[in-house]
Amino acid sequence: GAVVSQHPSWVICKSGTSVKIECRSLDFQATTMFWYRQFPKQSLMLMATSNEGSKATYEQGVEKDKFLINHASLTLSTLTVTSAHPEDSSFYICSARVGTSGPLEQYFGPGTRLTVT
Amino acid sequence: DAKTTQPPSMDCAEGRAANLPCNHSTISGNEYVYWYRQIHSQGPQYIIHGLKNNETNEMASLIITEDRKSSTLILPHATLRDTAVYYCIVRGNSGGYQKVTFGIGTKLQVIP
């Protein structure tokens, strides 16, 4: 149980275009989803937290107009990288929170590798 | 959240127990200790978590000291597939806005 999927697993796009990444919780309802970014040989960096039906909360330094997050249902969150540039090339990982109280249980997707040319 | 300190890297012989330490001296009473690992180019994988008592599951054991200022993740019989970066994270369970913040972790290399 507690499987999180991401689509696509990798994507190559041209500079200036937009890319949408989907994150789905397959066998549970996720009230909260998180988006991370990971550059080579670095740790995961939290970008934003999204709660179903409300606006995402972005970490300091993350441009909300560039990284659009939509959490329209309890099983789907999307991250859109708008007007992508080569410096946006990274490994994007989503995770989903199980439940709303008690010990934190957070499950991660397999990641999406974005390359902007 | 309490800060954690882990060694940047460790080696372990295949078949032997891998003991990964974590210091969290500023942990507060309601904060849990979580362990995740990340195999190269994959998303992090939940391993185990605990509050005060030692915990064991099919993947690993978690030993938490009595004063809760440090813990050890034990992989009883390490295999090559256990080569990964292991993250120790301390987080409370209260409040609706909860997030997992990653440090640099310990890169475990299992050697044949």
**Residue-wise DSSP of B15-71:** TS-EEEEEE-TT--TTEEEEEEEE-TTS--EEEEEESSS-EE-SS-EEEE-TTSSEE
Q: What is the pLDDT of residue B96?
A: 45
Question: Cβ contacts (< 8 Å) between A111 and chain B: which residues?
Answer: 41-43
pLDDT per residue as tens digits for the range B83-94: 999 999 988 765
Q: List phi, psi (to 5°) of A87.
A: -70, -10
Question: Cβ contacts (< 8 Å) between A101 and chain B: which residues?
Answer: 93
CA angle, B44 as apex, A93 and A67 as ends, to 5°? Answer: 15
> What is the pLDDT confidence band of residue B18, given thresholds at 50, 70 and 90?
very high
pLDDT per residue as tens digits for the range A31-52: 889 999 999 889 999 999 988 8
Other CB atoms closer than 10 Å to residue A63's CB: what's the count?
Answer: 10
User: Residue B101: closest CA among chain A residues belongs to which residue?
Assistant: A46
| Cβ contact, residue pair B101, A93, below 8 Å | no
- What residues of chain A, 11 to 40, have a C-beta less than 8 Å from chain B? 32, 34, 36
Q: Is the pLDDT of residue B9 over 70?
A: yes
| Cβ contact, residue pair B93, A104, below 8 Å | yes
Q: Is the pLDDT of residue B45 over 80?
A: yes
- Under 8 Å CB pairs connecting chains A and B tally to 62
Q: pLDDT of chain A along its 117 residues, tens only?
A: 688 999 999 999 999 999 999 999 998 888 889 999 999 889 999 999 988 878 899 999 999 999 999 988 889 999 999 999 999 999 999 999 876 655 567 889 999 999 999
> Within 13 Å and on the Cβ side, how many CA atoms surround A106?
25
* Cα gap B69→B59, rounded to integer Å: 23
Q: What is the pLDDT of residue A54?
A: 83
- β-bridge partners, A33: A50, A96
Q: What is the pLDDT of residue B3?
A: 86
What does DSSP assign to residue B82?
A: G
| Cβ contact, residue pair A103, B87, below 8 Å | no
User: Residue B103: closest CA among chain A residues belongs to which residue?
Assistant: A43
CA angle, A23 as apex, A101 and A50 as ends, to 5°? Answer: 45
> What is the pLDDT confidence band of residue B50, given thresholds at 50, 70 and 90?
very high
